[in-house]
Structure 1
Amino acid sequence: MDTALIEKVGQIGIPVKDLDRALNYYKETLGLTLLFNTDRMAFLETGGLRLMLSLPEKEEFAHSSSVLYFQVKNIQETYEHLSGKGVRFIGEPHVVAKMELTETWMVFFKDTEGNTHAFMSEEQV
């Protein structure tokens, strides 16, 4: 077989403890677009990728999600804006990599469900 079987990542699941609280956070605080929701799941969109917030069906799925790295245009503006909306950041924006003409900046944060995620930006120097 010449072509890859996997085309792309189409959806990422994020386990939550309180669906209404998590949906409010991702939609209202982070500004993601709600596609639809049910009594146990909510589907949001960011840059062509669907995020599924869900109450775990079984205890084995009730653990923290993988770290999602959200790409932003200006990390300092994002940090300041979302700090004002109550986002719990872990530290401040900082450089994690320097290339010839680009610096990669990152800042980590906790969502309302205890999951750790990050904002990242590529800055020209």
Structure 2
Amino acid sequence: MEKNRIHKVGQIGIPVKEMGRAVHFYQNLLGLPLLFQTDRMAFFELGGLRLLLSLPETAEFANASSVVYFQVGDIQAMYAELIGKGVAFTGEPHMVNKMGQTETWMAFFRDSEGNTHALMSEMKVE
């Protein structure tokens, strides 16, 4: 492996306003495994990628995060499950692209801190 080359994304940081509320959302509603937590940070495991929730150290970092696209197998089932848990979606799952026999579907939602994220599913169709 070349040392002077980017190989993968290792961690994504999401700024939060209230740590307890945010940890509850990501752990209990989205079902992400919590690795560990401090008073200012919480780390979750996402298939080799860490998701970091953190209280901003300065106002410079207190902005909404980038959109994180959570890949799922069955977007309709996950959407229904999360709706049942009270997750606020901005719309229903919808197809955003079709390439050959593969459809890409998305459904956007807001986390407990007001950040927008999405469920994403790629499905083979006949």
TM range (shorter): over 0.9
Deviations 1:19-72 (A, max 9, x none): 000001000100001000101000011111101100000000000000000000
In the other structure, the counterpart of 1:103 is 103
Q: Identical aligned pairs, as a percentage?
A: 65
Structure 1 residue 75: Cα displacement: 0.3
Partner amino acid, structure 2, of 1:116: T
Where in structure 1 are there 5+ consecutive unaligned residues? none
Please state if 1:6 is matched with 2:6: yes
- Runs of 4+ off more than 3 Å: none
TM, length-normalised to structure 1: 0.96
Q: Measure, in 1, the Cα distance between the counterparts of 2:106 and 2:7.
A: 28
- Aligned pair count reads 124
Q: Measure, in 2, the Cα distance between the counterparts of 1:76 and 1:28.
A: 19
TM, length-normalised to structure 2: 0.95
Q: Measure, in 2, the Cα distance between the counterparts of 1:3 and 1:64.
A: 32
Please state if 1:37 is matched with 2:22: no
In the other structure, the counterpart of 2:80 is 80
